A and B are shown apart, each in its own frame.
Chain A
Amino acid sequence: MSDKLNDIYNAVCRLTGNKPVTDADKKEAIIKGLEKIEKKLNQVKREEKKNSKRIHDILNVVVSLANLRYDDKANVSGKRDDFDALALGINMLGEELQASTVSLNEKEILLKEIHHRVKNNLQVISSLLNLQSEKIMQPGLFEIFMESKNRIRAMALVHEKLYQSQNLSRIDFTDYISSFLTYMNECYNLNPEKITIHLDADKRPHYFKIDTAIPCGLILNELVSNSCKYAFPEDRIGNIYLYFGVEKYSENVDQFILQVSDDGIGIPAEIDIKKTDSLGLQLLEMLGCQIGGNLVLDRTNGTKFTLSFPVEKY
């Protein structure tokens, strides 16, 4: 036997584990050994094919999870090998994710329900005040009831917007303003031929969390109510202007501007808004501070209140 053939024979022996035989049988042994190797290779190929199918199966489930679909399950063969462990792990993760999603949805529904109930309860309080006010004979007391009713409605509107919003933790304040003005028109029964409300609000949505939305809603209520009640006595004709938008405070800092002005008779000069007995004006100071804002009164042409407060990114 040539050296080359002998080398091949030795290599086959090493690969198959066959023991050396006589020279005469070596050729036969090489053929049998190669057949054995071929069989093994085919077996490995079959295994690879099976494993590749299992990997594909697991990958499909991962893709489903990435698409937030949790019903797909990877097949666990029962071999308790690495592929089974991967399949088991991915299945269990899917089940946990599904449970978390259900739990999150339940919480969201619950939160919506809470905002809805808060709004309903506030509306009930507002209606009760309304009913009770019908029996009041003293005009001053009636006013107080109405003011309280409007404040409650301003807060109820925030909760209404919250449960209607996609994100239950914030509302679009631009949208709030337009709903609020509809309510104010109904409430004060404003005659459009005499008093016109002009709204100039940024068209972009500006989202406020409840902590900002409630004080801003109350401030808006105080300012617009103030103009509606006092600016145009004795059927005077006039305008109420409402501006809401974002302006530059400094080069890198923006601020919200909420401005309510009217061309009415103006606040009497002797009233100092920082030292007043009026609950409405006291509230403006207090609520303005609560949101880190600055309230400025301009009396040059009617009344112009400008509230500026920092922009928070939500």
Chain B
Amino acid sequence: MTKISDTIKNNSVESRAFTTWLGDNGICYTEVKLNASVELADACGNTEAIKKISGDRIYPLLVNLKGINSITKEARDHFAMRERTPAISAIALLIKSPSSRIIGNFFLGLNKSAVPVQLFTNEEKAISWLKRFALPLK
């Protein structure tokens, strides 16, 4: 079955560790590349990519952590910064592997986000939850 995220990867921003794009369903997607070890530069790049894609609008964000291998403390701290303020209204963290489960739970437990954050193992359920925070498309 074709995943929703596979159908809308137009105008994506590619970086060493992430692929980020805006879906036609009003949800912003960012996917960690398979076996990526996320460092501070990757985290900063990701924030910039989301800002660039969002423009002056606020979107809910789906973070696909399934492929993540590890993440440095500096990168975690960057994502935890409240003043980072990328244009996000909610975050769904998609997890599957044991490593992604650990990292996802770290974000929930240690980093108190300014916006609602929830963990999902199912992409459809994650999108359905995120849609509650999506603004109508222009």
Enumerate chain A interface residues (CB-CB to B < 8 A): 76, 78, 80-82, 84-86, 88-89, 91-92, 95-96, 99
**Contacting pair B102 A92 (CB below 8 A):** yes
Q: In residues 1-50 of chain B, which contact A (Cβ within 8 Å)?
A: 35
Decide: A84 near B73, CB < 8 A? Known: A78-B35, A92-B106. Answer: no
Decide: A85 near B73, CB < 8 A? Known: A80-B35, A80-B97, A96-B110. Answer: no
Q: Report B105-122 CB contacts with A as 1/0, cut-off 8 Å.
A: 010001000000000000
CB-nearest residue of chain A to B111? A96
Decide: A80 near B99, CB < 8 A? Known: A92-B106, A96-B110. Answer: yes
What are 26 inter-chain pairs, A to B, with CB distance below 8 A? A76-B69, A76-B70, A78-B35, A78-B69, A80-B35, A80-B97, A80-B98, A80-B99, A81-B98, A84-B69, A84-B98, A84-B99, A85-B98, A85-B102, A86-B102, A88-B70, A88-B99, A88-B103, A89-B102, A89-B106, A91-B70, A92-B102, A92-B103, A92-B106, A96-B73, A99-B73
Collect the chain A residues with CB atoms within 8 Å of residue B103's CB.
88, 92
Please report the total number of B residues contacting A with Cβ < 8 Å: 14
CB distance from B121 to the nearest CB of A (A): 14
CB-nearest residue of chain A to B34? A80
A161 to B98, CA, bound (A): 51
CB distance from B75 to the nearest CB of A (A): 11
Q: Report B80-106 CB contacts with A as 1/0, cut-off 8 Å.
A: 000000000000000001110111001
**Contacting pair A80 B102 (CB below 8 A):** no
A84 to B99, CA, bound (A): 7
**Contacting pair B76 A80 (CB below 8 A):** no
Q: Report B51-68 CB contacts with A as 1/0, cut-off 8 Å.
A: 000000000000000000
